[in-house]
Amino acid sequence: MTTPPLATSILVLGPPLVFKAYETEFSEKFNFLKPWKTPIPLPQFIATHSANVGAIFCSAVSPVTAEIIQSLPELRFVLASSTGVNHIDLRECERRGIVVANAGSTFSDDVADMAVGLLIDVVKRISAGNRLVKARVWPCEGDYTIARNKLGGKRVGIVGLGNIGLHIATRLNAMGCIISYTSRTMKPHVTFPFYPAIHQLVANSDILVISCALTKQTHHMIDRDVMLILGKEGVIINVARGAIINEKELVECLVKGEIGGAGLDVFENEPNFPEELFGLDNIVLTPHHGAVTEEACRNLYDHICKNLDALLSNKPLECEVMNM
């Protein structure tokens, strides 16, 4: 492999799952810096290579802080392996004129599938039934809670009707659910009812599906007040970011039976899980892998390679979140 010129080294933070899966292929194409493979502390590693780093490739759980950005004088590009970019200091990137790009729609279908799967599981108590059978207490245990409701006909409020939210809406609409949504703006070509405020949406929903970005405005948007409006039969599904929900208040409402159930693929302080929920049959928890399929990883690998090729050739990038 030909050694790239100065400022075209790519600092990998995480590393992202797709990088682990395609490390050999990536390394044949680009000059990646891998701090986790050395015993050197990250700040020292960054200081050693700072003059050569033109790009950062980061996972969703690896913060790209103002301090890191400021320590890299030649940095021009930050590429997230996720759709969300709340872990990147966008203000500092804007100040420096650094381009930020994400995974775009690479994961949209897979995350939508996970949202629908979690919802069906919670409503139909599939995981709860699975535990009962494997514990060999069925049919002896007569107090097993049956599924409360059918899914068809339920009012589903979607928080954030971007690419992922629209995929979720399309799937659930086909299953007979009544869809409405809230978003930063009303979508002109969408026929589903729009509510400008979260409390309006929740008041007209039996189920809440969260698929919006985590921002200052959406942080803890789903709090106790929202949950109490949703009510004792209400279900919350979160495939976005954990901190959109006030997790402490969510746990309290679930334990007290103030909402009917939840399906969570994301958590506020990952990789920590709220253990108070482990014994509840109306809760389904998955380890933030809604987007992880072999097909999606391959598509993301191709997407990242295209963006890095474009970066090194001074060509337009795909899925720019912010281009200064």
Catalytic residues: 241, 270, 288
C-alpha to C-alpha distances, 6 to 55, 64, 107, 111, nearest whole angstrom: 12, 21, 33, 38
58: helix, strand or coil: strand
94: Cβ contacts below 8 Å, ≥ 6 apart: 322, 324
Find, among 180, 125, 165, 129, the residue nearest to 149 by Cα: 125
> What pairing do the DSSP bridges indicate for beta strands 53-58 and 77-80?
parallel
* Separation of alpha carbons 89 and 63, rounded Å: 8
286: Cβ contacts below 8 Å, ≥ 6 apart: 114, 118, 263, 264, 265
Beta-bridged to residue 182, according to DSSP, are 159
Is 83 in contact with 102 (CB distance < 8 Å)?
A: yes
Cβ count near 83 (within 10 Å): 23
* Separation of alpha carbons 221 and 234, rounded Å: 17
Is 160 in contact with 211 (CB distance < 8 Å)?
A: yes
Is 239 in contact with 266 (CB distance < 8 Å)?
A: yes
